[in-house]
Each structure stands twice: as structure tokens, then as C-alpha cells.
């Protein structure tokens, strides 16, 4: 239920409409879909949320594109690949969409004899020792979503709170019942606090996970039991593409709308995505993302008793 005080005579839908107009951040169709309450929604987050402002220097955690380029640079500097192979990896990153999973696969294979080096590289970039408080992530945790699913490996959310009800891959495959309880925080592809070798990062690890019947049951529980909002993704992210593939596999052409807070790709592209069941909530600047979540947080504030 909507947890704010509405003056007598103002309808619930009318209040939602007024809020949408006042903030210019939350489209009315999304507010209506969640019945004005973020508690009816599961938030799925990607690497873009941690791309800046989560370290004391103001920097962030690499997103997919940056991490893959860092991998290629590392292979070159360490002389782990031939020039021909490095050129091929660079070409994979130039394709549309970029073949990030294949680059990660080659990085993994290049470290077959040096798993410590593989661990060290990922911890260097995904587990920096200067993580700081993030207003954006703190706001998100205060909203009261039914649950949060993170496709990220980093510890940015954990830095904001030590009271998260964490469920982490691979253990989460044995804990599907936890996703039916309000307030879960799931690390869908693993966490850098565990062994880096267990992260779902390469082409092979992705394909193995999606074939696991326990994972398919988990996806049905999360994606098909709630309204879903994605944030922190780009249209090229393999995580984002994986979510779409999971939806299409279950629903076919009749899949329900999935909402995605994305940098505006333009009206034509938004229309194309709507045809495939993706309703893009566009923004222009990164600062708009926090404004969007601040507006959702206002909906979650405890009601003040009438006087």
C-alpha cells in the first residue's frame, strides 16, 4: 500500500499522477504498475550503478566494457597471448554487441596455469580497498523493494550496510525459498568476497548456469512473481541480455513488461524494445538516476499519523 499521507479528497491515483509530474523522474505508467509502492517491485542492478562515486577518489568499479579492456591490456603486458590473439580479442570488443563473455573466456584460459594471477587481477579491480559510502546505493537500500538482485561481483552495497539478507551464488541455487521472503539481497553471479574462480563471468560459466534447472526455477520465482525494474545496465550488457533471454524462454511473445531505467537510446529504439516486452524508463544524465530513486524513496517513507 502507498505509505504516505494523502489529503482528504485526493485519490490515490491522483496523488501518484501529481508525484510523477512534480518529480519528472518516475513515469506514471511505472507508478501505476507497482500500485504506488516499491514494495511490489524487485530491483535488478547491473555494473553501471557502481561505475562512479563509490570509492574515496570518486572513481568506481569497472563496468563490463572497462573490465574487458583491462583484461586485454593485462594479457598484452604479461605477454600471455600472441599478437594475433590480442588483435582477435580487440575485434571481439568492437563487434555489435561486443562479445564480452568470449573475451572473459579467453582471459580465463590464458590463466589455466596461474589461477592465483586470475584471482589477483579480479580482486584488484573488483575489490578495491578504498570503497566509500555511496548516496545512490544508500538511497536504494532505504526504498523498501521486495528484494534486490545484483548481477555485480563488487561489495558496494555491503559497504553501505552490514545487515543485508545476502544470498550468494552458488549457494543461492539451494536457497530458492529465500527469494519468496521480502527483503532479500541476491548476488546472482557470485561475489568477489569468495573465490574469483567461482564467479559467473565467462561464456562457459554463463551457459552452464542457464542450463541448470535450479537456476531456471530461481528465475521464474524472481522475474515472474513480481514487477521488475532493471537499473545500472546498458543494452549491450551480457547480464541484461541474459535477463531478456530468460524472460523470452519462459513467456515467448506474451512476456509481461519488464521496466528498465536506461540512458535514453532515442524514441525509435525505445519503441522497438517495447515490442519485445521491455519498457525503457529513459534518463539523460547519471545524476538523474539518484533523483529517480529519491522519488521512489519518498513513496516508501512511513506515514505520519493525521492530526
| Per-residue model confidence (pLDDT) at position 25 | 64
At 17-65, the pLDDT tens digits run 444 434 446 899 999 999 999 999 999 999 999 999 999 999 999 999 9
| Coil/strand/helix, residue 82 | coil
| Per-residue model confidence (pLDDT) at position 258 | 86
At 134-170, the pLDDT tens digits run 999 999 999 999 999 999 999 999 999 999 999 999 9
Query: Per-residue pLDDT for 306 more than 50?
Result: no
Q: How far apart are CA 105 and CA 208, in angstroms?
A: 13
Average pLDDT, the chain: 87
Q: What is the mean pLDDT of residues 93-121?
A: 96
Task: Give me the helix-helix angle, 83-94 and 100-110, nearest 10°.
Answer: 160
Q: What is the mean pLDDT of residues 80-95?
A: 96
Q: How far apart are CA 185 and CA 161, in angstroms?
A: 11
| Per-residue model confidence (pLDDT) at position 256 | 67
| Per-residue model confidence (pLDDT) at position 249 | 74
| Per-residue model confidence (pLDDT) at position 4 | 28
CB-based burial, 92-129: b 16+ in 10 Å, e otherwise: bbeeeebbbbbbbbbbbebbeeeeeebeebbeebbbbe
**In the chain, what percentage of residues exceed pLDDT 90?**
70
DSSP 196-221: GGGSS-SHHHHHHHHH-HHHHHHHHH
At 208-229, the pLDDT tens digits run 999 999 998 888 888 777 899 9
Comparing 245 with 44, which gets the higher pLDDT?
44
Q: What is the mean pLDDT of residues 65-91?
A: 96
| Per-residue model confidence (pLDDT) at position 243 | 83
Tell me which residue of 261, 284, 285 sits closest to 273, measured CA to CA.
Answer: 261
Q: What is the mean pLDDT of residues 62-75?
A: 97
pTM over 0.85: yes
DSSP 151-193: ---S-HHHHH-S--EEEETTGGGG-GGGGGSTTEEEETT--TT
| Per-residue model confidence (pLDDT) at position 104 | 98
CB-based burial, 162-180: b 16+ in 10 Å, e otherwise: eebebbbbeebeeebebbe
Give 229's strand partners: 43, 259
Query: Per-residue pLDDT for 286 more than 70?
Result: yes
Q: What is the mean pLDDT of residues 175-185?
A: 91
| Per-residue model confidence (pLDDT) at position 305 | 46
pLDDT band at 198 (very low <50, low <70, confident <90, very high): very high
Amino acid at each position: 500500500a502507498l505509505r504516505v499521507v494523502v489529503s482528504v479528497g485526493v485519490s490515490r491515483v491522483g496523488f501518484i499522477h501529481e508525484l510523477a509530474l512534480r518529480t519528472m523522474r518516475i513515469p506514471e505508467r511505472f507508478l501505476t504498475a507497482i500500485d504506488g509502492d516499491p514494495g511490489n517491485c524487485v530491483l535488478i542492478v547491473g555494473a553501471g550503478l557502481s561505475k562512479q562515486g563509490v570509492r574515496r577518489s570518486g572513481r568506481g568499479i569497472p563496468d563490463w566494457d572497462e573490465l574487458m579492456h583491462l583484461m586485454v591490456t593485462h594479457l598484452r603486458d604479461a605477454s600471455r597471448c600472441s599478437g594475433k590473439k590480442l588483435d582477435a580479442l580487440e575485434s571481439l570488443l568492437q563487434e555489435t554487441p561486443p562479445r564480452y563473455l568470449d573475451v572473459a573466456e579467453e582471459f580465463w584460459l590464458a590463466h589455466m596455469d596461474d589461477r592465483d594471477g586470475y584471482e589477483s587481477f579480479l580482486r584488484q579491480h573488483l575489490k578495491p580497498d578504498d570503497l566509500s559510502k555511496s548516496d545512490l546505493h544508500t538511497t536504494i537500500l532505504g526504498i523498501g523493494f521486495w528484494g534486490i538482485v545484483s548481477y555485480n561481483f563488487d561489495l558496494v552495497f555491503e559497504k553501505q550496510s552490514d545487515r543485508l539478507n545476502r544470498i550468494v551464488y552458488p549457494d543461492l541455487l539451494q536457497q530458492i525459498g529465500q527469494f519468496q521472503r521480502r527483503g532479500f539481497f541476491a548476488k546472482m553471479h557470485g561475489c568477489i568476497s569468495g573465490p574469483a574462480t567461482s564467479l559467473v563471468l565467462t561464456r562457459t560459466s554463463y551457459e552452464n548456469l542457464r542450463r541448470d534447472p535450479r537456476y531456471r526455477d530461481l528465475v521464474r520465482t524472481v522475474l515472474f512473481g513480481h514487477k521488475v525494474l532493471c537499473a545500472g545496465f546498458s543494452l549491450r550488457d551480457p547480464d541484461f541480455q541474459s535477463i531478456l533471454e530468460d524472460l523470452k524462454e519462459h513467456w515467448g511473445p506474451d512476456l509481461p513488461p519488464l521496466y528498465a531505467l536506461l540512458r535514453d537510446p532515442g524514441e525509435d529504439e525505445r519503441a522497438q524494445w517495447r515490442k519485445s516486452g521491455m519498457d525503457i524508463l529513459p534518463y539523460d544524465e547519471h545524476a538523474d538516476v539518484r533523483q529517480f530513486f529519491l522519488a521512489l524513496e519518498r513513496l516508501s517513507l512511513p506515514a505520519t499519523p493525521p492530526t
